[in-house]
Amino acid sequence: MDSQNCTPNKIAIPRKILDKFIFLKFKNK
């Protein structure tokens, strides 16, 4: 169960950064 809980958490962090990156790229365009 510990491994499963770590998987979504690890993806949630980069996903937030990716969301911000896309938002900034969209604003720049």
What average pLDDT does this structure show over 1-9?
56
Percent of the chain with pLDDT over 90: 3
Confidence bin at 11 (pLDDT 50/70/90): low
Average pLDDT, the chain: 73
Cα–Cα distance, 27 to 19 (Å, whole number): 12
Q: pLDDT at residue 21 above 80?
A: yes
Cα–Cα distance, 9 to 13 (Å, whole number): 7
Q: Which domain holds residue 28?
A: 1-29
Cα–Cα distance, 23 to 29 (Å, whole number): 10
Cα–Cα distance, 7 to 29 (Å, whole number): 33
Confidence bin at 14 (pLDDT 50/70/90): confident
How many domains is the chain partitioned into structurally?
Answer: 1
Q: What is the DSSP string of 1-29?
A: -HHHHHHHHHHHHHHHHHHHHHHHHHHH-
Q: pLDDT at residue 29 above 60?
A: yes
